[in-house]
Structure formats: structure tokens, C-alpha cells
């Protein structure tokens, strides 16, 4: 494809994160002139609905996957940049670690890539002195790749490659699911939010803001070279979340602070007992228990002052609720991380 624009290969292009990154990269400049970027989207199935939607927008869609690294190498040819988001729950921690390293090496080998961006995650092992109760595999795999990248040069020049890590947070859009959104509406109209986070805080990011941070990185290559940007939109406790919900909607709401065991009892036990990824016996329950402990104990923090300097228009929970006309009613196809377990309606009815 002949173009004067900078081609960005997006791996994970048909996922919700990839879609947000693509949307942001294609946004016109502030003066209204066209974006300097064009997209090459890697997908396992170019005939999928999302892939067809990308193609209908004039985006180059190529077939490939992390299960076939030769296709990744071919997709990297001729691109200026790469945004690499591997799916932890689909490929597992071990393969994610290997593929994350290997794709970086392929980007160096093809000689055309100038800016490589890895979609990372907080290094919870280092932040907890390697305490296993805080180590979900989809964090640790991505963080190990990030550690390896720090040992590689990051050169900002016309003939070499620089790298950046973008570590994000749970999607605020998941408030539209039963993981973060209200599980029940009582007969008196009270919306029941339940969480295992205690008085801890959860950093959350809107998909739109995530895309903005990705665009910032590609627009500011020198400033972000060899850096890990820990992004979020807002950081909230569930008491604050529920109070904001009532403020925005005028609806009654309550936060039920549950233990981790009590919270998991609200879901189908067969679902929560299954392995969280194909390369592990660690269950969905244990994986998400580790996540709950991270937030309950305020292990993961964010520098909101820095975030708002970089992205002055970053959403808060309140502004996201207003922007999306949030009602607390759940959407069946809302974005979610991993495979969401089915609710235990008998238990939920008792909340």
C-alpha cells in the first residue's frame, strides 16, 4: 500500500482496546487536517463482523495471529509503528510472555518499525515483593515482557526503533456488565452494587481515553521513548462510585461490601472453577481473587495530576456516566476482560 502516512500495525485490532486505539489514531489533527497515520489491522478472521467493519472504513485488514508468527512478521513489513495487545485469556501467560518478546524481535528484524508500543500491565510482582496472592497471570505475563523490553535499546532516530509501554486499567465501560455494574434492582428501585474491594480503590479507564493515550504516545515519540505510561481515567472506591451514580441518575443505590468468598457466591460455581486460561489450572475464581486483593489493598495507584496534564480532557466516572447516559441497566454485549461467569440468580435475588 503506497501512502505518505505512517502505517501503524495494530495487533488485537478487532478487540475493544484495538478498536479504541484505531479510532484515536485516525482522528484529524487539532487544525482539522487529516491524521498522519493509517492503520494495518491484524486479525485471525478477516471475514468477522468487526474485521469487515474496519475494512469498510478503508482500513487495511490482514490475516494473521500470534499463533503464526510468520504472519506477524509479514504484517510488520513497511510499517512505521506497531501497537501490540495480546489476549492474555486466550493464549495464556506462558505464550503471552514468549510472543511478546518474539514480536518485539520481529519488529527489530524487519528494519522498518520506528516506534513499538506494548500494551502492558502493572508489575504486581515488583509492587508486592512477589507476593503470590496479588499475581494474576494476565498482569504478570505482560509485565515480564515489559521488564525484558527495558533491557533493549530505545533509539529515537530515522533508522532505528524506540519503544513505549502503555499500562492501562480495567475498562470503565465494564460498569455496563455484572462484574462492575449493579447486579440487582430491588423492588423499591434501589440499584445494588456489590464488590469485594472493601474501602480500596479501583483505577478505571474509558476506552476513549485509552485510545487518547495511545495517540499521545505515537505523537510524542521522543518524550515517551523507553517509558512505561501508567494510564487511567479515574480512581474510585465503590462507595464513591455508588454516590456518583445516585448524583448522576437520581436513583437510589447501595454498595454491598462483600468478602471475596461472598462475592464469588453470586456467580455460577462451575464457571468460576474453570481455568482462567488454556495453559494453567489456576481458576477464574483465584485469578479474580488476586485482582480483588490488588484493589482492596490499594496496591495499584495512578498519578492523576500527571494524567490530567497529558490528557486534559480525561473522563471521570461522573463525566463518563453523563456522556453515556448511564442508567445502571446492564448491556449483554458490553466490553469485558476475559470470559464473564454466569450469575447465580438465586443468590443475587437475596441482595
In-domain check, residue 137: yes
pTM for the model stands at 0.94
How far is C-alpha 286 from the geometric centre of its chain's CA atoms? 20
Taking the chain (351 residues) in consecutive chunks of 10 residues, what is each chunk's mean pLDDT?
82 96 97 97 96 97 95 98 94 95 97 97 97 95 97 97 97 90 95 96 98 98 98 98 98 96 93 90 93 97 97 98 94 53 87 89
pLDDT the model gives residue 342: 83
pLDDT the model gives residue 3: 58
CA 225/CA 59 separation, integer angstroms: 27
Q: How does strand 191-195 pair with strand 184-185?
A: antiparallel
Contact 44, 25 (CB under 8 A): no
pLDDT the model gives residue 320: 98
pLDDT the model gives residue 1: 44
Q: Is 143 found in the same domain as 24?
A: yes
Q: Is 184 found in the same domain as 43?
A: no
Q: How many helices (H) and strands (E) does the chain have?
A: 15, 12
pLDDT the model gives residue 341: 83
CA quadruple 261, 267, 271, 277: dihedral sign: negative
Contact 112, 74 (CB under 8 A): no
Name the residue among 252, 260, 347, 255 with its Cα closest to residue 297: 260
CA quadruple 269, 283, 207, 231: dihedral sign: positive
Residue 105, exposed/middle/buried by CB under 10 A (0-12, 13-18, 19+)? exposed
Name the residue among 40, 36, 120 with its Cα closest to residue 72: 40
Number of domains the chain is built from: 2
Q: What angle do CA 150, 12, 118 make, to 5 degrees?
A: 10
In-domain check, residue 310: no
Domain that holds residue 81: 6-169+205-230
Q: Is 278 found in the same domain as 138?
A: no
CATH code at 138?
A: 3.40.50.720
Q: Is 209 found in the same domain as 83?
A: yes
Amino acid at each position: 500500500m503506497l501512502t505518505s502516512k505512517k502505517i501503524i500495525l495494530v495487533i488485537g485490532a478487532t478487540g475493544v482496546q484495538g478498536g479504541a486505539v484505531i479510532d484515536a489514531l485516525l482522528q484529524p489533527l487539532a487544525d482539522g487536517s487529516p491524521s498522519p497515520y493509517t492503520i494495518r489491522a491484524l486479525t485471525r478472521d478477516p471475514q468477522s463482523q468487526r474485521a469487515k467493519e474496519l475494512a469498510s472504513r478503508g482500513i487495511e485488514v490482514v490475516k494473521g495471529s500470534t499463533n503464526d508468527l510468520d504472519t506477524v512478521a509479514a504484517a510488520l513489513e513497511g510499517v512505521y509503528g506497531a501497537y501490540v495487545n495480546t489476549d492474555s485469556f486466550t493464549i495464556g501467560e506462558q505464550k503471552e510472555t514468549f510472543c511478546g518478546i518474539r514480536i518485539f524481535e520481529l519488529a527489530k528484524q524487519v528494519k522498518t518499525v520506528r516506534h513499538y508500543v506494548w500494551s502492558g500491565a502493572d508489575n504486581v510482582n515488583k509492587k508486592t515483593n512477589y507476593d503470590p496472592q496479588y499475581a494474576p497471570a494476565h498482569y504478570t505475563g505482560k509485565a515480564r515482557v515489559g521488564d525484558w523490553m527495558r533491557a533493549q535499546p530505545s533509539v529515537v532516530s530515522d533508522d532505528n526503533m524506540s519503544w513505549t509501554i502503555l499500562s492501562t486499567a480495567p475498562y470503565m465501560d465494564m460498569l455496563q456488565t455484572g462484574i462492575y455494574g449493579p447486579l440487582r434492582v430491588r423492588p423499591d428501585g434501589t440499584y445494588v452494587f456489590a464488590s469485594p474491594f472493601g474501602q480500596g480503590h479501583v483505577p478505571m479507564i474509558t476506552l476513549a481515553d485509552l485510545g487518547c493515550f495511545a495517540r499521545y504516545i505515537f505523537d510524542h515519540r521522543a518524550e515517551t521513548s523507553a517509558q512505561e505510561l501508567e494510564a487511567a481515567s479515574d480512581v474510585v472506591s465503590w462507595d464513591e462510585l455508588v454516590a456518583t451514580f445516585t448524583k448522576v441518575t437520581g436513583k437510589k443505590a447501595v454498595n454491598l461490601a462483600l468478602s471475596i468468598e461472598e462475592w464469588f457466591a453470586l456467580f455460577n460455581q462451575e464457571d468460576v472453577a474453570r481455568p482462567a486460561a488454556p495453559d494453567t489450572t489456576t481458576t477464574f475464581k483465584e485469578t479474580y481473587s488476586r485482582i480483588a486483593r490488588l484493589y482492596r489493598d490499594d496496591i495499584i495507584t495512578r498519578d492523576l495530576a500527571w494524567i490530567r496534564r497529558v490528557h486534559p480532557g480525561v473522563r471521570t466516572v461522573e463525566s463518563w456516566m453523563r456522556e453515556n447516559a448511564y442508567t445502571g441497566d446492564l448491556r449483554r454485549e458490553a466490553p469485558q476482560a476475559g470470559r464473564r461467569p454466569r450469575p447465580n440468580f438465586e443468590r443475587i435475588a437475596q441482595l
